[in-house]
Structure 1
Amino acid sequence: MQISRTGRWGRWFPLALVAALAVSFAGVVVVVTDQPAQAALRGRRVITYNLQGSRSGRDNKWTTTIGRYYADADVVAVQEAGPDSPALAYGTRLTRYQGRQLANGGAGLPQVGHANEVAYTRWRTGRNRNSAHVYFLQTDPRGGRYVGGRNNLAIVTHEPAVAVAAVANRRTRTHRNARATLGVLLNDGNWYFNVHATGAADDGRGLLRDIAAFVRGRNRGEHWVALGDYNQEPDQLQTPAGARIYNTGRATHQAGRELDYAVNSTDEGPLPTRRLPGATADHYGAFIGTVQLPEPPVEVFSSLQAIESMDAGGVLDAKEHGTSNGTPIVSYKRTGKDNQSWLVQQFSDMSMTFRGQESGRCIDITNSDRNPGPGRSLSLWKCTGKASQRWRPIYLDEHGEYELRSQLRPDLCMNVRGEQHDPTDAKRLILYKCENTRNERWIFTPAYKPSTATVLPTPPYRWMDQESMSLETLNSGAVMDVLGERTGNNSAVGVYHRTGGTNQGWDLGWRWSAKFGGLIVTLSGLGSHRCLDVPGGARVVSGMILVIHNCSSETSQTWLVIQEDNETVNLLNAQNPNLCLDVAGKPTTPNRGRLIVFHCNGQANQSWIFTPLDPD
């Protein structure tokens, strides 16, 4: 039964106590008045969701889940949001606000790492949509460092906030995992807070008490709503006087408990609530607000995608550039052609369709009207949005990969038939029972297009939180590989198709460089424990081959990572930043090519993406 009851008991400049104030915010002028706010939930659509972290190198859980929620709601509160904000929209930069730039002055926040600041970014969630506004607060202590981790908070909105607050948790002094709350004031005069309580008896109650006191102390007639994961059933939570809980009445955690809901500062009467379809975490999202109309499918990514198999690194390919109904879908080596480029669209039930750039047709189950079962092939067909063309992405936490389950047959997954040991040998795509095998694991990667501009001088923090990753060239889809699985000093490094071997895994060691004014990285081999190196020490010139060598402080082992506007990165050697990590000779076959440093030229053989390592 749904519970609705009344309780018992940044960097934005502080708003002056005036009748009206114009605040310039990221190029937008917002007028704030002291007039009483409208009701926070009536007229708004809000979603709260525990994402359970975002560990993939290209923020896929943000893109495949939060992007869809953003299309359906005005405000999305994300708990366990991952190590940092999602990828920046092109032409925008991350801004951090702290102290007096926060509406509450940041009082009581830990003065370490990023715990005392709110990060503001713009995030583009699809090719043709306006970029979202993302506010991010570091609440994961990470051993007292307050950098990275998964237990952080984010709020995503369609409009810029008028003000931002980070309300400290009084229990932080005695409970290291106690988390602050993040709030944004929108132009309707209401505060929207994100809460992730620990579940301790007094934690949720204390957070709500302090939120209410903060808003009341501003004396502006503002209301508030606190969305979140309370780790407590709604009938166990004490709320401030006059507040009302809005919940779905259904379990929002897969263990069977209802933990995710909203607490509103006023009783607005009955409002629609709905538990959202399961997505990629152990929680279900909770929707509260005005009636939600059926939404059309939205574009998930800001670019066309190549959908890559973790079996050998092949990508979904319309065989031999076929464009007609019935063209087989195969897994084949990356070529960069349009028959491997897919427009990914997502429905409100979280299922996806894959529309071919070259054909304009969608991946479908062949003869789907004839009782399809295990072994049925996949092919192109005219896009209709029917169940046989829709695939549900199931996130596999251990590596940041996905199963793609059929909407028509949820017990069956997209599968590379018979496994694939070499991506140059095309293999048919079929339906098969979901077994979490390598030939059923997929990642979303950008379909290559030439870069036209540099986006960031340093990589986003999300890569800093990874354990071991692989580095893939978009020239052929091969990954960086210590050839022959050797581990000794001066072992040659080249590229090879994906095998999951430890000689293709790299531990990323990030540090700040005053010289470059940004982050640099070393790459230590997972199997060798030696670092990618340009032999020659201080003299690094174009054409030098790369090897692994004992890790040291030599700058020839460090790389400046430059993000490009095509979602790839270039790696510039710190000893000679005019030289980039390069696959010699631009081979189009995955198993060929030594790695060298070469004059940076923006070609595909210098374009790289960080991808998961799947050692199984």
Structure 2
Amino acid sequence: MLVLSLLAGLFISLSAPQQRAEAAVEDHTNATYNMQGGGNKWTTDIPQILRRGFNVVSLQEVGPRPPGTLTWTSNYLGGTANWNGWRVQEYQWRPLGQSRNWYIYYIRTDFSGVAGANGGRVNLAILTRDHPSQVHVARPAFYGNNGLPTSRPALGITLGNTLYFSVHALATGGSDGAQLVENMAALAGNQRTWAAMGDWNRRPRDLSIRRGWHKYTVGGPTHQSGNELDYMVSNERINSYRGWARGYGSDHWSVEFRKLAANAEVELLNTHDNDRHMTFQNSVSGTRLVSGPQNGDTYSGFEFQPAGSGLYRIVSNGTGKCWSDNAGGIILWPCNTAGDQLFDLNYWSDTGQIQIRPKNRTTCVGDDSDFGWGSEIITTANCHGGETRLDFRFDEDPGGNPAVVF
């Protein structure tokens, strides 16, 4: 039997959470998608996401009613049947191409019209392969003077010892996002991990969260406006975890979260120099690696190719040539087996960022503190310094292999 919980003032749990020490957000393959009203996207877009291996999908703007068979409806969680009260519904549905039923958890948050073909399109859902032990509704951030909410709640489920939420912040700039994160975290408590995925309606850098919580982003647009609005916030630190934006039939792209895998194509960002891309200015052998335009260019994509003994060659996608450590800098050179083309890769202790150390050095790759476009990337930076903290984003689809590279 599902257990439903609601954050209302102080959170009171109706059952003790399952304890599972190894539980983590990445136990499941996660994605988020604003469906812009649902409709036929349930039968066109959603099956494509599932075929790509994702089994927990947070959904926004799902339309007035999800597909499948209604199998359970909660009581109203306070208030009335109107928009000062919510109830959760469970549907069972077999998506196209799947051999078994999946579970959809749905909450109506849009009371602007009758729940039918022409109304109530901006509603929340979570699609999951596995049956959760709990379903949650996290209290919205804002209430009016009449005591009624003026923003949306978040919908969550518990799988193992992790809570997964679907979030849709206010379209007028996502001003409710920071408090909504606090409400979800309070609902999860101190002993469980949580991940909130959805449409935050503001850029990641503009969403304020506590120290020790983390944002997992694409690092580029997720909406046709050119803004990055769709991403994950979690209390778990997951090294090498990133989103990949994939366009379907909505004005938002879906964001699919994966770890960095061997041979995935990435762009490397110099976090010490305003997230400029590391790039070569042309394909000529001997060309130096520099900080490039912030939007990337032809020669800013790279692959980490395993070279044995935990080392990697770093190949320029635009040229097919390799990084070589030369006189304290990185040059472009035809790939070979020499030691100056071998690099050790490590994660920094915080989210996502990596560090690259040439095999033949005790120093690391970083900027030379001469900031701006065209400044050289050196191999003699102190490995303990901030100039060696490198970020990455997927340059091309990382594919279905979620295995960590290093």
Name the residue aligned to 1:326: none
Note the alpha carbon deviations across 1:418-468, whole angstroms, 9 max, x for none: xxxxxxxxxxxxxxxxxxxxxxxxxxxxxxxxxxxxxxxxxxxxxxxxxxx
By how many angstroms is 1:113 displaced?
6.5
> Judging changes above 3 Å, is the alpha-carbon distance between structure 1 residues 177 and 37 closer, same or farther for their aligned structure 2 residues?
farther
Q: Kindly indicate whether residue 45 of structure 2 is the aligned counterpart of residue 65 of structure 1.
A: yes
Name the residue aligned to 2:252: 283
Q: Kindly indicate whether residue 63 of structure 2 is the aligned counterpart of residue 82 of structure 1.
A: yes
Name the residue aligned to 1:39: 24
The separation in 1 between residues aligned to 2:174 and 2:210, in whole angstroms, is 15
The separation in 2 between residues aligned to 1:245 and 1:236, in whole angstroms, is 11
Residue of structure 1 aligned with 2:224, choices 254, 268, 282: 254
Name the residue aligned to 1:51: 35
Q: Kindly indicate whether residue 248 of structure 2 is the aligned counterpart of residue 268 of structure 1.
A: no
Name the residue aligned to 2:87: 117
Q: Kindly indicate whether residue 180 of structure 2 is the aligned counterpart of residue 196 of structure 1.
A: no
Q: Kindly indicate whether residue 71 of structure 2 is the aligned counterpart of residue 94 of structure 1.
A: yes
Largest Rg, 1 or 2: 1
Letter in 2 for 1:62: W
> Judging changes above 3 Å, is the alpha-carbon distance between structure 1 residues 138 and 11 closer, same or farther for their aligned structure 2 residues?
farther
Q: Superposed, which structure 2 residues align to 1:377-388 within 5 Å? A: none
Report the TM-score when normalising by structure 2.
0.56
> Judging changes above 3 Å, is the alpha-carbon distance between structure 1 residues 146 and 251 closer, same or farther for their aligned structure 2 residues?
same
> Judging changes above 3 Å, is the alpha-carbon distance between structure 1 residues 68 and 36 closer, same or farther for their aligned structure 2 residues?
same
Q: Which runs of 5+ in 2 are unaligned?
A: 6-12, 263-406
By how many angstroms is 1:129 displaced?
1.7
The separation in 1 between residues aligned to 2:30 and 2:252, in whole angstroms, is 16
Q: Kindly indicate whether residue 143 of structure 2 is the aligned counterpart of residue 159 of structure 1.
A: no
The separation in 1 between residues aligned to 2:29 and 2:101, in whole angstroms, is 18
How large is the Cα RMSD of the aligned pairs? 2.9
By how many angstroms is 1:133 displaced?
0.7
By how many angstroms is 1:118 displaced?
0.6
Q: Secondary structure at 1:142's aligned position in 2? A: coil
Q: Superposed, which structure 2 residues align to 1:580-599 within 5 Å? A: none
Q: Secondary structure at 1:205's aligned position in 2? A: helix
The separation in 1 between residues aligned to 2:238 and 2:80, in whole angstroms, is 35
- 8 A contact 2:203–2:228 mirrored in 1: yes
Letter in 2 for 1:173: G
Identical positions, percent: 29
Name the residue aligned to 1:363: none
Letter in 1 for 2:163: W
- 8 A contact 1:11–1:117 mirrored in 2: no
Letter in 1 for 2:164: Y
The separation in 2 between residues aligned to 1:127 and 1:275, in whole angstroms, is 22
Letter in 2 for 1:283: H
By how many angstroms is 1:172 displaced?
4.2
Letter in 2 for 1:131: N
Q: Secondary structure at 2:156's aligned position in 1? A: strand
Residue of structure 2 aligned with 1:139, choices 106, 109, 112: 109
Name the residue aligned to 2:96: 126
> Judging changes above 3 Å, is the alpha-carbon distance between structure 1 residues 292 and 184 closer, same or farther for their aligned structure 2 residues?
farther
> Judging changes above 3 Å, is the alpha-carbon distance between structure 1 residues 121 and 240 closer, same or farther for their aligned structure 2 residues?
same
Q: Secondary structure at 1:240's aligned position in 2? A: coil
Name the residue aligned to 1:237: 207
The separation in 2 between residues aligned to 1:16 and 1:231, in whole angstroms, is 32
Name the residue aligned to 1:178: 151
Q: Secondary structure at 1:154's aligned position in 2? A: strand
The separation in 2 between residues aligned to 1:35 and 1:250, in whole angstroms, is 35
The separation in 1 between residues aligned to 2:168 and 2:241, in whole angstroms, is 23
Letter in 2 for 1:212: A
- 8 A contact 1:273–1:288 mirrored in 2: yes
Q: Secondary structure at 1:65's aligned position in 2? A: helix
> Judging changes above 3 Å, is the alpha-carbon distance between structure 1 residues 238 and 110 closer, same or farther for their aligned structure 2 residues?
farther
Name the residue aligned to 1:208: 181
Name the residue aligned to 1:396: none
The separation in 2 between residues aligned to 1:74 and 1:128, in whole angstroms, is 12
- 8 A contact 1:121–1:133 mirrored in 2: yes
Q: Secondary structure at 1:173's aligned position in 2? A: coil
